[in-house]
Amino acid sequence: MPEKKNNLNLSYKSKGMSLAVKTVTRLSVGMLLLYGVNMTLHGHMIPGGGFAAGIFIALAFLNLILAFGKDPAKERLNQRRMAIIMGLGLILFLFIGMLGFGKGFFFADFFKNNTGFFSILGGKNIPFYNIAISLQVSSGLLTIFLCLTLLKIKGE
């Protein structure tokens, strides 16, 4: 469809915000997303962690929705896909915890010695936990926001 290519097309019901906001958002969203991913992968080194990184990633997508309006978001985002990512994060966290049974107990460290390739990680299995947490938190917050804005409540 020709309407999809031009974001400023007036045929959208909700046009989003002004041209300046759209331009700035187009520039800043990439950086915000990159910072979130950086914080996820370096969460054991720098301030922040999985939770803050997940919120950053959710905020990047949320900025896009606010700037460009509801309808482009409604066409692109899929509720089922978001739910799958959210469950995947939780199951990944549980799976890494279960791997600790090889060492003796639940949530035990299995990189205690930090030799060879895994010495890059520095912080035991913390980076893996951070990845799982950021996956779950980002998709969960985004799902809540989308539901509250795009859908209608049953009673109304």
Helix, strand, coil percentages in the chain from 3-state DSSP, rounded to 5: 70, 0, 30
CA distance 101 to 50: 23
Q: Which of 2, 47, 104, 116 touches another protein (CB under 8 A)?
A: 47
Q: Which of 8, 24, 34, 45 touches another protein (CB under 8 A)?
A: 45
Contact 43, 53 (CB under 8 A): yes
Contacts of 141 (CB under 8 A, 6+ apart): 54, 55, 58
CB of 36 to another protein, least distance (A): 10
What b-and-e string marks burial along 45-75, b requiring 16 or more CB atoms within 10 Å of the CB? eeebbbbbbbbbbbbbbbbbbbbbbbbbbee
52 touching another protein, by CB under 8 A: yes
Give, in degrees to the nearest 5, the angle at Cα 51 between 118 and 147.
130
Q: Which of 13, 27, 78, 120 touches another protein (CB under 8 A)?
A: 78
Contact 36, 57 (CB under 8 A): yes
Count the site residues for another protein by CB under 8 A: 56
43 touching another protein, by CB under 8 A: yes
Q: Binders of another protein among 118-147, rule CB under 8 A? A: 122-124, 126, 129-130, 133, 136-137, 140-141, 143-147
Nearer to another protein, 7 or 143 (CB): 143
Residues in the site for another protein, rule: CB under 8 A?
Answer: 43-49, 51-52, 55-56, 58-59, 62, 66, 74, 77-79, 83, 86-87, 89-90, 93-94, 97, 106-107, 109, 111-112, 114, 122-124, 126, 129-130, 133, 136-137, 140-141, 143-154
